[in-house]
Amino acid sequence: MRKQWLSSGLAVLAVTALAASAALAQTVDTSRIESAGQNDWLTYHGSYKSHHYSPLAQINANNVGNLGVAWMHVPGRSTRGLQSMPLVADGVLYYSGSYSRVFALNGATGEVIWSYFPELDEALISRQTHSPYNRGVALGEGKVFVGTMDGRLFGLDAKSGKVLWETRLIDSQKLTVGFTGAPLYAKGTVIIGSQGGEWPGRGPIFAVDATTGKKKWEFLTVAGTDEAMKSWGNDSWRTGGGGGWMPGTYDSETNTILWGTANPAPLYDWSGADYKTQGARPGDNLYTSSVIGLDIETGKLKFYHQELPHDAWDFDSAVGEFVMLERDGQKYVVHPNKGGFVFVYDRNLGVKNVWRLVENINFVKDIDPKTGELIGRRDFSAGKVTEPPLCPFIGGGVSWNAGSYSPKTGLYYKIGQEWCMTLEVQKTTPVTAPQVQLNIGADFKMAPPPGGEIYGHLDARDPITGTKKWEVRYPEPPLGSVLSTAGNLVFVPDSRGVLHAYDAETGAELWKHNNGTGHQGGIVSYSAGGKQYVAVTAGFGGMLADEYAPNFGGVYKSMPRDDGALVVFSLK
C-alpha cells in the first residue's frame, strides 16, 4: 500500500513539475533565438550567431573533474549511428535519431515526455546512400520541425508531439534524395535544404510557413538564376547536383538567410585543365560549393561567394557554421570549407580573409586571402591519381560538424583533419530514370599525407587572422561537434568514444570520459532546475565512419554502426 502511495505521489509530483515547466515556458521565436538565453540551446548552432558556446559557468575549469553521468537515453534503431544536435528550451530537451524519430525529454531526469516515429517509405530509404540518419530538429512557435529522408517536413506540437502539419517538398521516389540535415526557424519561416550533391538533381532549398506548413519559396542551388545557368555548359545544369544539406543561419540586420551549398555532380569531373569548356559539367557551376544570402521573405538571391568554382574534389561549402562576430567596429562572418580553408566575410559575403586550418592541402596551391580566388588548381583527366595523393581526403579538411567560438577568450576552436586519398577518375553518364542514381565519377581510397601519418587536431585560433594559440592532436580525426563554455572549457567528443574537456586558454586536458562508442554528432550545454548539464550524442556510423575500421583498426573493428545513446553529464 505504501509503495502504491509513493508511486502515486511521485507521479503527481512529476505532472506538477511538468505543468510548472509548461507554465513557465515562453514561445520560441526569432527574438528569443537571437538573444540566446543562457539556460537554453534553441537552434542547431546555439543561436543565429553560430557560436556553439554556452554562457553557463557552473561547470568550470576548477570543478570539471567532478563531472559524471547524470542520465542517458537510448533512442533505439540507431542505424548508422546517432548524428543529431540536441536542442533545449525551458528545461525540455528535444533531439532526433535515425529514421527521423523525435524525442522530448525532461532535461533534468531524462524522463520521456513524448516521442514521435514518422511512418517512412523504408523501401525508398534502403536504396539511398546517405540514410537513415537525421541531424537535428528546429524549434519555433510551440512546434518542433523535422525533415525526413523521403522528402517531407513535419511540424509537431512541442508539448505533445502531435503532428500539426506535414508537407511534401521533394518527389523522393523520382529524385532519390530527401532531408538529413536540421531545419532552421526564423521569422515565422522554416528553411531546410535537400541532401544529395552527388545525385543528378538541382539541389533545392525550401522555405515553409511555420504556422500552416505551406511552402513559401524554393531556391535551386544549381542554375537558380539566368546568370548561373550560363555557368553550366551543355545543359549540364539539368543534372548538376547541388543542395544545402546542413542548416545555415539568419541575419536579422539584413533580413537574410545565410546558407552553404553542396558540390556539383559528378563529384569528380574528368575535364582536366580545360574545365571551362570540357568535361561533364563545363564552367564554374554556380551556385554549387558556394555560400549564398537569400531574402527570407522571397527566397531571392541577394549575394553569394563561390568558394570553389567548378568543384572537382567534393570539398563543398554546405558544411560548417556561419560564425557572426564583431571586432574593431567591423562585423564578420566566419565560414569553414570542407577543403580545409576558413573564409572570413563581411555581412554581405564579401571576402575579407582566407586562412588554412589544415596542413595537408594540395587540390590548390593556395587561395588569395584578399579575393578568394583559387591559385594553382589541380584538375584531373580520367585515370589514376596517386602521386602525390589528393589532399585532403573526401571527408574533408573539416567535416560537417561544427566548431565553437568563445566570446570570452576570443578564440575559435575547430577540428582539422590531416588525410589524403588516391583516386581513379572515371567518365560517367547521369542516370535520371526511372529513379535518379548516384553519380560520383571516381573510385577513391584513404591514404596518408606525403611524408607523414593521418591525424586530427583541435586548434584554438584567432577567427579573423587564423593565428594559432594552441593545438591538441588525436591519432584519428574526431568527427563530432565542439562546445566551448563560460566555464573556461572546451569539450571535444572524439571518434574513439572519449569526451574530453580542455582548458579554453591553454588546451590542457582537465577531464575525460569514455562513452563506449564513437561520436559523430552534436554537443550542447543547458540548465534545468538550476543545474548545468552537458549533453552529447554517441553512436558511430555513416560513410565516413565506415572508413575507420579498415584504415585504423583498433577499437573501430568492434565498434557498432547501429547503436547510439544520448549521454548527459552534470557535477556529482
Residues taking part in catalysis: 314
- Distance, in Å, from the CA atom of 99 to the CA atom of 318, rounded to the nearest integer, reads 22
The answer to whether 201 and 239 have CB atoms below 8 angstroms apart is yes
Residue 228's H or E segment, with its range, is helix 226-229
The maximal CA–CA distance of the chain, rounded, in angstroms, is 84
What are the phi and psi torsion angles at 418 (to 5°)?
-105, 95
| DSSP alpha helix (H) spans, 150-218 | 172-175
Which whole-number Å values give the CA distances from 159 to 11, 311, 334, in the listed order?
18, 44, 35
Task: Give phi and psi for 306, each to the nearest 5.
Answer: -85, 110
341 phi and psi angles, rounded to 5 deg: -100, 155
Cβ atoms < 10 Å from Cβ of 498: 18
Which residues have CB under 8 Å from 546's CB, separation 6+? 561
Size (the chain), residues: 572
- The answer to whether residues 521 and 547 touch, using CB atoms and an 8 Å cutoff, is no
- The b/e string for 387-399 (b: 16+ C-beta within 10 A; e otherwise) is eebbbbbbbbbbb
Distance of CA 260 to the CA centre of its chain: 11
Give the N- to C-terminal CA distance of the chain in Å, as an integer: 33
Residues forming beta bridges with residue 209, ordered by sequence position? 189
Residue 83's beta-bridge partner residues? none
Gap between the Cα atoms of 53 and 410, Å rounded: 11
Residue holding cell 548527459?
568
In angstroms, the CA 520 to CA 539 distance is: 7
* DSSP assigned state of 136: B
Q: Using CB atoms within 10 Å of the CB of residue 65, give its burial: 0 to 12 exposed, 13 to 18 middle, 19+ buried.
A: exposed
Task: Identify the three-state secondary structure at position 234.
Answer: helix
CA–CA separation, 341 and 147 (whole Å): 30
Handedness of CA 219, 135, 338, 442 (dihedral sign): negative
Strands 483-485 and 53-54 turn out to be parallel
Q: Which secondary-structure segment (H or E) carries 126?
A: helix 122-126
Three-class secondary structure of residue 488 per DSSP = coil
Least Cα distance to 134 among 170, 182, 94, 63 occurs for 182
Residue 335 near residue 346, CB atoms below 8 Å: no
Q: Which residues contact 281 (CB under 8 A, 6 or more apart)?
A: 232, 233, 234, 236, 240, 264, 265, 266, 269, 310
